[in-house]
Amino acid sequence: MAIPKRAVERITAGLKKYQAVLTDAKNRDINESDTVTIIRNIVSDLLGYKRFTEITSELPDHSGGYIDLAVKVDKEIRFLIEAKAINVDLKESHVRQGVNYGAGLGTEWVILTNGVHWRIYKIHFGQPIEHILVRELDLLAATPHDDKLLECFGSLSREGFTKSSMTAFFQQQQAMGKFSLAALLLSEPVISAARRELHRLYPSVKVEPEVLRSNIQNHVFKREVVDGDEARLAQGAIRKAAKAAAKTKAKAESERAPNIKPDVT
């Protein structure tokens, strides 16, 4: 992905400084309010947003609660941040709180962070509303030229954030994510290819597609990658992509076919 040069320079230059700040904050076990202050500074200094006009705190949501931070440019909310104290482990209940805020405001992107660990989620506005973990970062373990850090923070940056760039970022992460890869390996074309290879290696062994799929799903994969909301969303995305690819292929073949006109005598 193409990340704006200015964003890359800012992220690489500021990372070391904030690693020292976060290490000190962890050692002092600072509270949530002080952690939010550090997060606000990271969003300003690394992502490039204007500290006093584009990073809003305590934004009320539809339920009467408040969102820790919202990044807003030209009156449009780009993403929300649900923050926890620096030594608090991030949990599913924290995720749902942020997702509920985002769903109420019609915002697709939500970040859950304690300053060190950053989890970027995309809200899927279906029935029911679901959320997908797109990328997880540990700032203390990152290096200035870490591709994952630069892709993630670069996409979220003031210069890099657009609807199309975030869609591309999401699709890139989804394509190589564990849920999508599991769904792909359980898809009909891959199962068929695996059956052919098994038959080549063991000609006397006959394996039915559903038996092979069941064995892979239940005995090879971890349950988390084939079960749950994110797994189901990935499976649906793979099916949708397969249909789109088949449609594109059929159209291309139709256009390549010779245009034979009837012989009129």
Show pLDDT as tens, one digit a residue, over the chain (265 residues): 688 999 999 999 999 999 999 999 999 999 999 999 999 999 999 999 999 999 998 676 666 667 899 999 998 999 999 999 999 999 988 888 888 888 888 899 999 999 999 999 999 888 888 888 899 999 999 999 999 999 999 999 999 999 889 988 888 777 767 777 888 888 889 999 999 999 888 989 888 999 999 998 888 888 777 777 777 777 777 777 777 777 777 777 777 766 555 555 4
CA-CA-CA-CA torsion sign (9, 46, 109, 238):
positive
In sequence order, what are the beta bridge partners of 120?
111, 135
219 Rama class: left (phi>0) / alpha (psi -120 to 50) / beta = alpha
Starting at the edge strand that comes first in sequence, how are the strands of the sheet with 130-138 ordered?
Answer: 55-60, 66-73, 76-83, 109-113, 117-124, 130-138
Residue with tokens 């373990």: 141
Tell me, yes or no, whether 21 lies in a domain. yes
- Total domains in the chain come to 2
**One domain, residues 128 and 232:** no
User: Are residue 163 and residue 190 in the same domain, yes or no?
Assistant: no
User: Which residue, among 147, 74, 87, has the nearest Cα to 114 in the 3D structure?
Assistant: 87
Q: pLDDT of 194-234, one tens digit each?
A: 999 998 889 898 889 999 999 988 888 887 777 777 777 77
- Of the three residues 129, 146, 174, the one that is the final residue of a domain is 174
Q: Are 71 and 54 in contact (CB under 8 A)?
A: yes
Whether 228 and 123 map to the same domain: the answer is no
Pair 192, 108 in one domain: no
52 & 69 share domain: yes
Residue 260 belongs to a domain: no
φ, ψ dihedrals at 69, nearest 5°: -145, 145
Residues 75 and 142 in one domain: yes
Identify whether 259 is part of a domain.
no
Please indicate, yes or no, whether residues 96 and 218 belong to a single structural domain of this protein.
Answer: no
Angle between helices 32-45 and 5-28 (to 10 degrees): 160
Task: Give the structural domain span for 11.
Answer: 5-174
CA angle 240, 120, 107 (to 5 degrees): 75
Considering the domain architecture, whether residues 130 and 248 belong to the same structural domain is answered as: no
